Amino acid sequence: MITNRELASKVEMIFAHTNAYNLPSAFANREDSREELRGKIERQSGSSIILISDILGSGKTFLVQMVMGELGLEDAVPLIAGRTKASDFKGDTPKFVDEWDIKANPRRLLKTISQILEQKGTHGPLILMGDFTLRSENFRSMIEPLGDPDKIEMEQLNPTFFGLALRNRLERAAGDEFDSSQELISANVLSALVPDWSKTPANFRDVFKTLSQITYNLPQNYEPAFIDLSAVRPWVDKNGPTIEKGLQSELFEALVAHFANEIREGKWKKTMPLSVANLRSMIKSGDADDFQSRVIEPFARSGLLSSFGVPEISEDWKAYDRYPGPYLPGTFIRLSAALRAGAI
């Protein structure tokens, strides 16, 4: 059994969410993607490209690092898109280029593509990792001369996957004191953190970071550790984002109310992504011309909403639509809705 005090003392191990302490157990059921990636690397030659495109924090970098280690290439250092030099691509060993995402200036991404094309045929297999930017038409058209890239699909984080990973972490942390029957997280908190949706914004980094912060709200005693809504309340009160009055506050309240109702009415598992039109219809001022720039983009940037669209890059590579729809609620809104539905 893990107590509140023990959980607090080992929180950085159990809820590790950075590269400083990553466990193979975090990939409890990613055998398929690991096997597929390993096979593609072993079979690739020349200037072949492998794409891994998924939401931020989903574990792309860790996946590649694990497979590289399994292949005896653990000394490989990821190249960063926009900061690489043409000479970095020389040599026959596989290389992985990270951070092809909306955090990067599109001109820097273009520069890296140009360097890859410049070194065509002189480098080994390249593994490109990033968010949905890798799926944009302009990006695909630019790398077309290199041939059709192989794609790796990552298993998304669902309750079963998360349960396996958490169990492995707890077992490693508790050792002989591990009790498989102990319920560490209440069902309503878990369903908000890791929804069982066909598409989910949940990712290991965000979920474990949130749990590590919530843990400090637990009493420091020797009672069995248990994270329920009463522990979530202080976290929500302390971590509330800055929301402007008017359009932003109206939409935030509408979103929390909407998802709280879905929880109460048993519709939570059937939650589907929301379009821009859906979001506009939730508030009276939703027809405002600057609704996208004043509300949706700040919400997506802060994590209140998760964008599931493809950020299309402009033809001149000077800008792109960073947060296109559809959207799903981020962690803060999901937990706020769970609190509202639980009347705590």
Which residues face 49 on adjacent strands?
126
Question: Measured between alpha carbons, how far apart are the two ends of the chain, in Å?
Answer: 27
Q: How many CB atoms lie within 10 A of CB 75?
A: 8
Give yes or no for a cis peptide into 326 (omega within 30° of 0): yes
Res 344 pLDDT > 50: no
Grouping H, G, I as helix, E, B as strand and the rest as coil, residue 163 is: helix
Alpha-carbon distance 127 to 325, whole Å?
27
Res 260 pLDDT > 70: yes
pLDDT at residue 255, as a whole number = 97
Res 231 pLDDT > 90: yes
Res 316 pLDDT > 50: yes
Percent of all residues in the chain with a pLDDT value above 70, rounded to a whole number: 95
Alpha-carbon distance 333 to 10, whole Å?
27
Instruction: Please give the full DSSP string across 219-268, using - where no structure is assigned.
Output: -SSSSBP-B-HHHHHHHHHHHPPP--TTHHHHHHHHHHHHHHHHHHTT-G
Encoded tokens for 191: 């369903």
Q: Which of 136, 252, 262, 133 has the alpha carbon at shortest distance from 197? A: 262
Averaged pLDDT, 125-133: 91
The pLDDT tens digits of the residues spanning 266-278 come to 999 999 999 999 9
CA 281 distance to own-chain centroid: 27
Grouping H, G, I as helix, E, B as strand and the rest as coil, residue 51 is: strand
Is residue 204 a contact partner of residue 59, using CB atoms and an 8 Å limit?
yes
Q: Residue 19 carries which DSSP code?
A: G
Alpha-carbon distance 239 to 256, whole Å?
15
The pLDDT tens digits of the residues spanning 75-100 come to 777 889 988 888 888 888 888 899 98
Q: Interhelix angle for 331-342 vs 229-239, to 10°?
A: 130
- The Cα diameter of the chain in Å comes to 62
The whole-chain average pLDDT of the chain stands at: 88
The pLDDT tens digits of the residues spanning 141-171 come to 888 888 888 899 888 899 998 998 898 888 8
pLDDT at residue 24, as a whole number = 54
Note every long-range contact of 27-33, with CB atoms under 8 Å and residues 24 or more positions apart, other chains counting: 27/59, 27/62, 27/63, 27/66, 27/165, 28/161, 28/164, 28/165, 28/167, 28/168, 29/155, 29/160, 29/161, 29/164, 30/59, 30/63, 30/154, 30/155, 32/155, 33/63, 33/152, 33/153, 33/154, 33/155
Confidence band, pLDDT 50/70/90 cuts, at residue 330 = very high
Residues 6+ apart with CB under 8 A from 253: none
CA 300 distance to own-chain centroid: 13
Q: Which of 309, 308, 320 has the alpha carbon at shortest distance from 138? A: 320
Alpha-carbon distance 29 to 35, whole Å?
11
